[in-house]
């Protein structure tokens, strides 16, 4: 064994060379779909200022449309989960990508706020469906010893998609306007052509039998019901903390101190976001390594407890330098745990309802989290941002405590 090979084994970096063709293609398909999903979802935030001007949109309306997308994702996650259990993971994945791509393009055709709301709702359906189908495909294709890493890499592509959305907006918006930015959102549909041609269906799903009907009553079996409820509550608390925190931090930093913010202005706020992005990406990826090495529960709980500690500290910090230093750590722990939910949920449920149960648990949580931006704003107005940050820290801590009640599933071979 060469020293280079020994080093890779010690660091757990030998797994890319061990990938099968099916594992590699499923990871690319799921990661690519999730990355482009993030791009299409975030294009709205990138052109929001122009939408307010050109469509006469108020701030409450702007926030409502974002919440509408999140609520729709809950419906889409459940619907595409049922579809994936019936017709297969790859077909449902292609359908979700087509849905959010076409809806993004349609946003550029909107002439009124209600029209834009309808298209954002449809985009949300596809957004929820992509995570459900992509995560199920990867979980069932990858071996147990590397499943956490693969799902972590998939989840990390969201951070890349956010950066691509910013790049697309900078390149297109100044010259062609906000409509053209949304038109670029049709491009992810091209990924469907490759998936249809080269990405194999999950062997586990095929072995179960395509013709076997899916009975949702399986979810109410005593050995599954309680785990499903716990996983859903855990995810709801964790995502409430995420959306409440990362929706408001840029505005919190930019707002004047008399308005409860830090008075740093837009430039400093964007600088924080740029410093946060690498931390988010690393948090997603490294969680997978930790989950495969130390277990799903330990890693998930550690990340959430760290986030619960860091969020109030961030809220008390006055120094811009300190904020920039803390930013990547808040991003690392405040988002990295997302990689854990796919691994935990995929290993809790049987094959015949895996995608349905994963979609339900993940997206009901996301639907609940749509309340977070409103709640944080209301508490900040009535009391302070610090009080709101303490609530978000409590949400992270509650998710960690709920995770304690779930079984450890590291190394589980899916039936």
Q: Where are the domains of the chain?
A: 19-196, 220-406
The reported pLDDT for the residue numbered 11 is: 46
Give the CA count within 13 Å in the CB-facing half-sphere of 15. Answer: 20
**pLDDT by 10-residue block (mean), the chain, 415 residues:** 47 67 90 88 79 77 79 85 87 93 94 93 91 87 84 86 83 89 91 88 77 61 78 90 79 71 62 76 87 87 95 84 84 87 78 76 79 80 86 95 85 64
Q: Which CATH number fits domain 220-406: 3.90.320.10, 1.10.390.10, 1.20.1250.20, 1.10.1040.10?
A: 1.20.1250.20
The reported pLDDT for the residue numbered 102 is: 95
The values of phi and psi at residue 307, to 5°, are: -65, -40
Q: Classify 19-196 by CATH class.
A: mainly alpha
| Angle, helices 265-294/338-348, rounded to nearest 10 degrees | 40
Tell me whether the CATH fold assigned to 19-196 matches the one assigned to 220-406: yes
| Angle, helices 59-87/113-141, rounded to nearest 10 degrees | 40
Q: Do the Cβ atoms of 403 and 297 come closer than 8 Å?
A: yes
Q: Do the Cβ atoms of 218 and 350 come closer than 8 Å?
A: yes
The reported pLDDT for the residue numbered 243 is: 81
The reported pLDDT for the residue numbered 306 is: 96
Rg (CA), the chain: 21
């Amino acid at each position: 064994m060469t020293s280079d090979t020994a080093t890779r084994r010690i660091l757990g970096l030998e797994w890319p060379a061990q990938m099968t063709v099916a594992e590699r293609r499923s990871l690319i398909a799921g990661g690519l779909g999730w990355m482009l999903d993030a791009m299409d979802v975030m294009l709205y935030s990138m052109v929001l200022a122009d939408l307010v001007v050109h469509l006469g949109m108020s701030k409450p309306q702007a926030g409502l449309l974002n919440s509408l997308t999140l609520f729709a994702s809950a419906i889409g996650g459940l619907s595409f989960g049922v579809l994936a259990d019936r017709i297969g993971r790859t077909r449902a994945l292609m359908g979700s990508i087509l849905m959010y791509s076409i809806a993004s393009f349609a946003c550029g055709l909107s002439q009124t706020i209600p029209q834009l709301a309808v298209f954002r709702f449809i985009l949300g359906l596809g957004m929820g469906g992509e995570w459900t189908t992509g995560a199920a495909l990867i979980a069932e294709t990858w071996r147990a010893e590397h499943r956490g890493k693969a799902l972590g890499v998939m989840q990390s592509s969201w951070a890349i998609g956010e950066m691509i959305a910013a790049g697309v907006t900078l390149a297109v918006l100044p010259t062609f306007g906000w409509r053209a930015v949304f038109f670029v959102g049709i491009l992810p549909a091209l990924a469907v052509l490759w998936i249809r041609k080269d990405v194999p269906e999950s062997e586990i799903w095929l072995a179960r039998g395509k013709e076997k009907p899916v009975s949702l009553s399986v979810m109410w079996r005593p050995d599954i019901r309680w785990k499903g409820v716990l996983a859903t509550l855990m995810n709801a608390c964790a995502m409430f903390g995420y959306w409440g925190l990362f929706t408001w931090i840029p505005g919190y930093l930019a707002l004047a101190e008399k308005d409860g913010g830090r008075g740093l202005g837009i430039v400093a706020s964007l600088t924080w976001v740029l410093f946060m992005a690498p931390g988010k990406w690393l948090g997603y990826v490294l969680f997978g390594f930790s989950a495969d090495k130390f277990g799903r529960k330990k890693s998930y709980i550690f990340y959430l407890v760290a986030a619960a500690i860091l969020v109030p500290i961030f809220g008390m910090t006055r120094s811009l330098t300190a904020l920039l230093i803390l930013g990547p750590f808040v991003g690392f722990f405040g988002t990295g745990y997302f990689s854990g939910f796919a691994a935990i949920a995929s290993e809790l449920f049987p094959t015949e309802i895996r995608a349905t149960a994963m979609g339900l648990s993940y997206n009901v949580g996301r639907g609940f989290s749509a309340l977070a931006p409103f709640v944080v704003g209301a508490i900040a107005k009535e009391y302070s941002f610090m009080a709101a940050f303490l609530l978000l820290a409590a949400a992270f801590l509650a998710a960690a405590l709920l995770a304690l009640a779930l079984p450890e599933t590291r190394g589980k071979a899916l039936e």
